[in-house]
Every structure is written in C-alpha cells, then in structure tokens.
Structure 1
C-alpha cells in the first residue's frame, strides 16, 4: 500500500507533535525529475555520437527560441485585442456621457457602461467555467507547484497534452474579456501561464488536438526536460509582460524553478529576449512604425527623468481636480468606482469633461478610458496637482476591495497590475501629503516617484518577490537609479509581510492542500529521523517477478503509489530484502502493455527489443492498469526487471535526520527516497508528502493530516 495512506500511529511518528486542522491532499502526484539510469538509458547514451549530442543541444536552443517567439506573438495578439475592444467600448460610452452630461444626468451612461462591461466579463467567465477551468486565475501558483515537482490535475494542464491547446485558447480569450470588461485585473500574470503552457506543448513536439506528432522532439518527452522548458516559458511570459528579459530569468529562478541548472540560464535568457523582441517587432508593424522597437512589453512604466516637473501640453485640455461634482449620491459612489488616473505621455482619445468648465477635463474620470497599464503610468508621470487627495484615497480603497473580490472570480486574471495600480495610488497620495506638510516639500517630494515606490511595495508585499521584481521595475522604468530604493522597499515589504502572513501565492498553494516543498526543512526538526517520517511497510518486487503478482499489486494499490523497490531476498524467513533497484508504475505499465515476459522472449527469437522510445511514446498519458489485458496463462509468466529498473536509486540510512533527508530530496528533485538499515535492507520509503506534512507552527513542529481532498 502507499506509504502516505498509512495512519500516523502506524508510521511511528512521535506523539509529542500536535496535529492541526490543515490537510495535505493525496490527489497530487509527484513528477519524476530524477532520470532513471537503467540499462536502456545507458545503452542509448553509448550509441549516441558526439554529433548526436550536439544536435540535441541545438534542438534545445531551437525550442527555447520557438517558445519565446510564440509567447511574444500571443502577447501581441492580447494587447491589440484589448486595445481595440476597450477603444470601441470607451468611444460608445464617451459619446453617451457627453450627450447626457449636458442635461445633468449620467444614469443611462453608467448603465450602458455596466452592460458593456458585464457582457465582456460574462463571455470570459463562461468559457473558463464551462470549457476549461484550468484557465482560471493567473496560473502562477500552479506553475510554481509544477516546477517544485507536483503534478496538478486539471489545473495547470502542463502534464496532460490533450488539454494544452484548450487551456491556451481559453486563457488568451478569457484575459482579453476580463481586461476589456474593466475588471480589476491585469494580463501580465496570465501571460506567464501562457508562456509555460506554450513551452509544455512545443517541447513535446505533438498535439492530440491537432493530431500532429513531430518525432524530432521525442527525446524531450520526460519530466526533467519539460521542467526546463516550462521554466523558459514562464520567463518568456514575464519578459513579454514587462519588457524585462533579465527580470524574466530571475523570476523563473526566484519564484518558479526549485531545481536550477546553470546551463539552463542562457537558454532561458535567449527565450526571454526572443519574446520581448517578437512583441516589439509586431507591435511596431501594427502601429505603422516598422523597426521602432519602443514597446518592449505589455506594460511600460515610462522613463523617470531626474527632473520630472513636466506639465501637460498646452494644446490639450487643462486638467481639473475632481471634487465630486456629480449631484446624486448614488452616482457619486459609482463615479468613484469608475475613477482611475490619466496617462500624460499619450494623447487622450476620450477626455471626459463631465461638469468641469469648458477647456478642462476630469483627470480622474478620464482614467477609465485608459487600460490599467496606462493608468499606472499616468500615476507615475502626471504632474503635481492632477489628483485630489480625497478622491485618490477613495479610489485606493475602492480598487483594493475590487481587486480582492476579483481575484477569486472564475476568470483569467492576474494580480500584478491591480497591485501596481493600488500601490501607485497610495504611493502618490503619500507623496502629495508629504509635499503638503514639509517645508519646500513641493520641490523635492515628487508624487510620481513615491507612486513608483508604492507600486513596488504593494506588489512585493503580495507576491514576496525581491530580486526579480527589483530588476523588472528597473527594466520597465529604464532607470537604474531607482534600483537601490526599490530593493530596500521590497526587502522591507517582504520582512514585514512574512512576520504576519505568507505571500499570496503561498496562501493559494496551501488552500489547495498541495504538498509543496519549501527551500529548507522546518526549524527544530533535526531530532526527527528518516525512520520516523518514512512510510512502512513498503511493497517491493523481486528482480524476476511473476506477472500475476505485478498485475495484482498495480490493481490493488493507489495510482499515487508510483515507486517500487526491487529487492534481492536474503533468507526465506526474512521479510526484508536488500535493495538492488527501483522501478516505476509507468515503467511496469509499458512492460505489461508490450508483454515483455521471459517465456515469450525465449519463444520469439525475432521479438523486438524494448527501447526508451517506447516509454517516451507513452509519456505522459500512461494507460491505467485496468485497460491492459493479461490472460490467465500470461499471469503465470515471469518478468525480468533487471534491464528496466534503476539499479542505483538514492538511499539513506534510517537514522538520517529530517533536514538531511529534506535537503537531498529537494536538491535532487526526487520522487522516492529509499530508507535502508545497516545491512542495506529496505525498511521504508520517503515521498514528497512524508516531508511536506511537517511545518513550524505556533506550538512548534506540527504535522498535517493526509486526506483525499
């Protein structure tokens, strides 16, 4: 039986460790990030020439370039679609507002605004809820879990290729509808998920939906290779979102990849550069400025100059600060909810006069006629005096609650832009107040710079990123001068935030009961040993095992039970055997499917020898044991596991401390760790859930319960 299904009393865990009410779900499986170095693997390595290895390396670069190109192309399509849909909506509503403002009423205009927004959001919610639930949210927590070594069923869809295309299409269409519908969301987080999905699909070289199979990429059909490409896809998504290739690499390293390969760094950076260049290139063509590579990302904060005392052009209408000129109280509340800042460095296509004097426009209300990205940029760069502190305070609170509410909706949405917008709003408010209460504050307390720091602090406090977010902000603003203050702000936000509560992504992962392995084992856990945390007894196979026994074990154990030690019995009376290998459920399934039995091999001299290609062709959709037919005569046959098992699995003595087991398990990306006694006999097996269930709580070291949630 699976070790994780055993009760805590059977595990032999110390009774001093209290249980809390939180659970770890048994529905999550681990991924095989450790290569099985069996005889088939070694034979393939020996047969491969130097040219073959070079071709594989070139193929990795080609795949990373293709990932970057497709991710940038998707970002371009999203940006163009959002701008056009939002532009149509703004134009219709603006014409209606101008018509009814003359007679002193805005009810019909606001109803029209609500109807158009609801229509867009309804389309986005329907396609996500009914067609592909895996496209909901930003997808970043799921990517983080996948790169940590957890297979997420029906959520991330990086492991099940038939749903990859569906997830990508719904993700793209959903985020377009969400942003165009005016929700407090951004398209940057979903871009990271989209890049990861593109990488997972492209790297495998086949699609069930399109019924295509490109054999050129079949070597990469294993968890280890796919993990590396997904890391590149996530980085390409960040690069396309913010125009920050270096920040994308650091994001993948800091927030995503739990197991980092230094050789992978350049390939990920290459994918990030291709992504931002592709977005830049196609947007320049779309804007009728071919070759003008001035749009490196979906969001560009604009360059901060040393002197930011800039004013609006005289040729444009003068800004007036909003003072709630709408007469009816209900409309005042609705207007406050529709308030957002105005972009200064772009001509306003739809300036709203409302009840301002002729030649003036309402700078807060006009903001809703810009996308959230432009609203953030306007908070950074609008000159002092553009915003009334009372209105800005009301907007900050309103948008904060809207963002909290929106994050849980069944739509494709990201939290990056709402966080930046909220932080920029209260940061600018802080700058305004500081300038008002300090001597000569209007000279040195520039509100736009405080808006930048507030945006960084807000986003850093939510996602708890430090190094990567610092570089992203520096690349997006184009000014390295602000690198040090931004890093200090982010470090402060992380330290203070971690003292009270975990980051948003960590909370999301915990709510899903995912067995996530953090950087280090819980403190004060050195007194726990492998013997106390392992699962026992362990189901083992002999080197030469009866087919019927294998079929019965696979049929009667949970599908979560994926690793079986292969042992050599020491004595007939001894229930324990010496470890001589480890074989996976997926490998046994393939062997049964191809009927690799000893008796059949002897009778069929021309029988084709099984190769690694056969295992890769079945990856990742290995059939269930119930779908494999084994006759009664075949059940009496024997199966030799010597050639297919991993003869050198990682093992630890049963007295090894929990932190050492944790470090070995996480650093090597293991799925199973065999525990042996002094005579090298198998006494237990450590899996991800055995380690993830321990955490440091209010009462010291605590242990989570395991359940089928």
Structure 2
C-alpha cells in the first residue's frame, strides 16, 4: 500500500503510534513502564547532496523483472527476543534443569538434522543411479517432470531466509517432497541440472520441520520442541540444515581430509547466506555436518558393496590431480576466461528470466517451456551422436554403459559417452579420460550446446541445481584448452588435459556464482588432493574479480529479480551523506488514546510492517548516517527502527525495505548508489 508523503515521494508504510488529544505521545503498556516521547509529524527533508541517484515519483505499477524494484510483500522475520516480567518469571521458575534440557534438545535436533539430511541425499543419489541404469541400458525410458513448485536449486530462497526475509512456504514439507521428486526426474530426464544444489534447500526444510515439532502442510502437531518455535531459534536450525545439506552434497570420505570434510559445510553456509553467527552455533553446525557426512558414507559405502569401510566420497568425487608451478600463469588466464563466461551466463540468464516473468506466467506455458527445453536437449545430443564420427576403442571406454552407435565392432562413440551418462559421470570422464579420447569439434560443439542448455534450464519450473551444469560446461572448455596446449607443446609431459578441465570447471563455476572459499574447499574434497588448493584458489579469485566487473553472481541476480529486500553484509559505500531522515517512512500514523475500533482495524490492515513502537523500541537520531542505521539494524536483527529528532520526538520508522532500496551498482569498473522503487505488485 503506497502513501503520499509530504515531500511528494510515495511511501510504502508508516509507524503506528498512540497519541492523546493535545499532545502526541508514546505510552508504555503492560509490565514494562516504557518511555514517553512526543511525536513530531512535521519532518524536515534534507537535500540530496551525495553521489547517489534518487528516483522520485515512483510509479505504482512496474514491469516484472527489472533489478531496480523491490516488492512490498516481503517482511522481516522477528529475530528479537521477547522480554517481559511474565517471561522472565516463567524462566526463573523453571530453574537450571530447564536450561540443560533445552540445550540437550538443541544438540539432539542437530543430530536428527544431520542423519535425515544424509538419508535424503542418499535416497536421491541411489534413485538417480538406479533410474539411470534403466535409462542407459534400454534407451526406451524418457522421464520428464514439470514441477512449478520448489523450482530451481532453492539456494537463493534459503539465502534470503537466513538473511531475515520471510519467504512464504520456503521451508514446508511439501516443498521438500516436490524438491526430491523433481531433482530425481530432472537429472534422469536429461535436463542440464544437478542434484547438489537442491540438497542445501532440502537440509534447510528438514531442519525447520524437525525443530518446530509440527507440520503446517500436514496439519500435525507433535507437541514437542515448543520452546524452539521462535524465528531466531528456527533460523539457527535452518543454518545447520543448510550446512548439513552442503556436507551431504559435497562430502568427502572420513579419512585423509577429515577437518576440511566437516568444516566446509560451515563455510558454505556462512559464505552463501547465514547472516547471524555465534560460537555456540558454530559447534552445533559442525556437529550436524559431521553426522551428515558420516551417515552418508555409511549408507553409500554399503550400497556400493563396501560396508563398514567408509570410503565412498559422497555425491561428488572427481579423483586426484597433480600440478606444476609453471602452469600457474595459465591457470590465472583460465580464471579470467571463467569470469567472462560466467558473467555472460548470468547476463543471458537474466534476460531470459525477465522474459519468463513477463510472458511465461501461466502454468501450461511453463509446462510447455520445460518440455521444449528437454526435447531440445535430447535432439541436440542425438544429432551430435549421429553426425559426429568420434569412435574410440572399447578398452579405453571410461563409462559404465558404452554406446556403439554407428561405430564398428569393438569401438564406442565418445560423443555418446558424454551425453548418455549422469552429469557427474560426464564430468569425471572429461577429467580423467586419457589424451586423445575426444576430438576438438565434438568437445567444442558440446561446450556450446551445453552452455546454452544450462542457461535455458536454470530458471525453469523444475527442481535442479547449477553446480554440476556449470562444472560440466567449464570442464569442456578447460579440456579444450588442455588439448590445445598438448598440440602446441607435444613434448611437454606436464600438460594433462584433465587437469585443465578441472581448472576450467572451477573457473566457470566461480565466475557464475562468485564464491571462493567454499568452492575451493568443495573442489579439494572432490579431488582428494589438498596440494591443488592454491591453483584452484587463484583461478576462482580471478574468475570472481573478472565477473564482478560486469555483473553480480547468479544467486544475487535472481534474488533481485524476486524483488526480495535482502540486506548485504555491509552498507552501501559512499552513502555517508544519506541520513536517517531520508531513509525513514514518514509522516507517522497516529491513534488517539481512546479510538474507534473501525479506525484501528483500518489502520492495521493498511500498515503491513507489523511493528508498533509502543514500549521501549530501538531508536536512532534522524541525523544518523545510513551506514550507522544499516549496521545497527543488521547487527541486532531488527524488524523496525524508530527515528527521533533532537527533542526525542518520533519522526519516522525504518524497516528492512527502506534500507534494501539503497543499492550499489557496479559496471565496467565503475560503481555508485541508487535508490530502488518499492512496488506493491505481487
């Protein structure tokens, strides 16, 4: 709901305050005495002298998709701990045993999160493996699913939730069910999608469901863990679930690299979205990651015929590599190429997503689009296998299901070996196939087609992740680079095309998602070679720096396309000349001490922020700078911040959307701060 301010700018919301007939005041109620503060509804407006761009006369209706719009439908989660005399008296009456019981329950929940997340990961992996066997052995089954609910990897939604944004139905049990079924059918059906990304979302849903002891979707309440039914408690468990999902998706064997194996779940959760962190939460998330990794190893080792050995490397394992320091400059160049390719991927996908949001809005159109992309993927693969003659001796075939196609007896089609495998197996083939296993033309065409298919697939109404498609795309052009070096330097023994496939995969993934620490640890665990950490980190850093020149990471782009008011770690740079009086919503909305019920109901319906500074609110002066207001709001996990003048009169209120609309733009080495439009379109 937009309201016209006195300065001509449309305001989305205003604070609800009480006042008496002669003087507007805020009165404390309940057990707290609160404070009394006069309200000044005449707010002075400062001139905009900073370097930021201000958009006046914001329209009510905006086109879907542009990055300069925030939606008014999202609210902040309530991370503030309720404190009053009744609550304090109740906690004191329960005594020390209650505190111990609550802490033990926390650890038990994190144990369940790790176990169940690993079981779900194993179920997805084993199901895909078994369905793939049927598909590749018979070539008669074509599995296709269209699931508009729980589409995509779910990582942007989890990132927003951990940032403090209330995303409807993001951690419901129905979402988990659709996610599991969707990712299995998407991967087996041949779409350019992976199963690793959705595991993070699955872990978050499992954590949210267990910690609350009830299911809204199934309308069941087990009446357990009631003391954890608060937003700040649920947030911590969701962080643990996301970390357990990362550990299950990219976990390594419990052995040589045990410290990294357990810790990178925490790094992934922290780097990708967890906005509130503390020491005790670190230990509990570490515990959930340990349990998830251990459980996954036990189940998958048993499934693969090695019970009790704990040697199965999780859902992702690429084998080991060696390096030579003379290759570091080549790795740096490949990092730059990965950054360019990643930024191109993000730009094309952004344009395509905007097109989908504007024109492909009906369900039957989404079904038709997904079916069309799947059909194109199958047609492309078939055309390549038929028209490209790339036959290799069968004894060199690294695949489990060799396909002869038009090759002579004793040979197999190398093109079919790339297309007719699970994406993880195709990646491993590109990493470890011996030199001469692929032709330049086959890898070049595969790279181009799979790059375009990945761009089109991410954003479809199907469940699927981005990690493996990006890795497979990068592995293709990376191996091409290695084959080119082999041709130019035929006598160099240190040139291994598979090694360059790994670096290309890291650069492509880093240039797309713009993560460094987490991806380095993930790829170290997947290769089982910690000595390769330095070249991987170099290529990832170069990919991120190069990509940041042109646009943001793919997850941040999709968050902005969703118009979610996410708050970054730091306030926008160069924003010291923007003051609280320019950020806040005003004039204030007031009530009389004795008011008509109808008026109260109307104001409650028209005021969506659900925050009423009646008793002891957090306050800040109107002359405070935007960075100070941002850090206070962000660090305390607030939903609302009351703004007062020098006389301690309430002049406005700041919410998440007011801060999120000040956005930093970067392009071609330049940057600035702009003010986004807040739209009531939903």
TM-score band by shorter chain is 0.7 to 0.9
Q: Does residue 528 of structure 2 align to residue 452 of structure 1?
A: no
For 1:341 and 1:30, locate their aligned partners in 2 and report how far apart those are by CA, in whole Å: 58
2: distance between equivalents of 1:511 and 1:340? 45
Shift of 1:259: 1.6
Q: Which residue of 1 aligns with 2:655?
A: 687
Partner residue of 1:137?
152
| Aligned match of 1:623 | none
Q: 1:50 and 2:65 equivalent?
A: no
Of the candidates 303, 319, 329, which is equivalent to residue 302 of structure 1? Answer: 319
CA contact (8 A) 2:393 2:412 kept: no
TM-score, scaled relative to structure 2: 0.78
Match of 1:402 among 450, 453, 470: 453
1:24 aligned counterpart, secondary structure: strand
Aligned partners of 1:189 and 1:413 also within 8 Å: yes
For the Cα contact (< 8 Å) 1:671–1:688, is it kept in 2? Answer: yes
1:245-284 superposed matches below 5 A: 245-284=262-301
**Cα distance, 1:54 vs. partner?**
1.7
- More deviation, 349-358/476-485: 349-358
Return closer, same or farther for 1:256/1:699 CA change in 2, 3 Å cut-off: closer
CA contact (8 A) 1:351 1:362 kept: yes
1:343–1:382 Cα contact (<8 Å) kept: no
Summarize the Cα distance change of 1:437–1:348 in structure 2 as closer, same or farther, 3 Å threshold.
closer
Structural mapping, 1:71-82, within 5 Å? 71-82=117-128
Could you tell me how far apart the structure 1 residues matched to 2:107 and 2:389 are?
46
Aligned residue in 2 for 1:607: none
Q: Structure 2 CA distance, aligned partners of 1:438 and 1:430?
A: 12
Shift of 1:152: 1.5
Aligned to 1:18: 54
1:678 equivalenced with 2:646 (yes/no): yes
Structure 2 partner of 1:192? 200
| Equivalent residue, structure 2, for 1:708 | 680
Taking the aligned partners of 1:91 and 1:332, their CA distance within structure 2 comes to 20
Match status 1:518 vs 2:557:
no
In 2, are the aligned partners of 1:240 and 1:297 still within 8 Å (CA)?
yes
Q: Secondary structure at the match of 2:612?
A: strand
Please say if 1:351 is aligned against 2:402. Answer: yes
Distance 2:244 2:620 in 1: 38
Work out the CA distance in 1 between the residues paired with 2:394 and 2:83: 58
Question: Which is worse superposed, 188-197 or 209-218?
Answer: 209-218
**What TM-score results when the alignment is normalised by the length of structure 1?**
0.75
The DSSP-based 3-state class of the residue aligned with 2:311 is: coil
Alignment deviations for residues 504-538 of structure 1 (CA, whole Å, 9 cap, x no partner) = 00110111111111122222210111111111123
Aligned counterpart in structure 2 of residue 234 of structure 1, from 235, 242, 252: 242
Q: Distance in 1 between matches of 2:178 and 2:10?
A: 46
1:30 paired with 2:76, answer yes
Give deviations 1:227-269, integer Å, cap 9, x for gaps.
1111111111111111143221101111110121222111111
Secondary structure in 1 aligned to 2:225?
helix
- Name 2:112's counterpart in structure 1: 66
Per the TM alignment, residue 166 of structure 1 is displaced from its structure 2 partner at its CA by 1.2
Deviation, 1:294, is 2.0
Greater displacement, 170-179 / 298-307 = 298-307
Aligned residue in 2 for 1:428? 479
1:352-385 CA-partner distances (Å, limit 9, x unpaired): 2233343222233123332111111121122111
**8 Å CA contact retained: 2:580, 2:625:** yes
Matching residue of 1:374? 425
Query: Equivalent residues in 2 for 1:538-553 (5 A)?
Result: 538-539=588-589, 548=597, 551-552=600-601
Tell me if structure 2 keeps the 8 A contact 1:341–1:367.
no
Unaligned runs of 5+ in 2: 12-44, 59-65, 252-260, 325-378
Q: Which has the higher contact order (CA 8 A, sep 6+)?
A: 2
Matching residue within 301, 307, 329 for 1:290: 307
User: Partner of 1:263: helix, strand, or coil?
Assistant: helix
State the distance in 1 between where 2:380 and 2:232 align: 60
Residues of 2 paired with 1:202 and 1:445: CA distance? Answer: 50
Please give the alpha-carbon distance, in whole angstroms, between the structure 2 residues aligned to 1:42 and 1:343: 74
Distance (Å, rounded) in 1 between the aligned partners of 2:212 and 2:396 = 44
1:651 aligns with 2:619: yes
In the TM superposition, residue 329 of structure 1 has moved relative to its aligned partner by 12
| CA-CA distance at 1:151 after TM superposition | 1.0
Max radius of gyration: which structure? Answer: 1
Q: Would you say 1:500 and 2:550 are equivalent positions?
A: yes
Distance 1:330 1:417, change over 3 A: closer
Matched, 1:392 2:443: yes
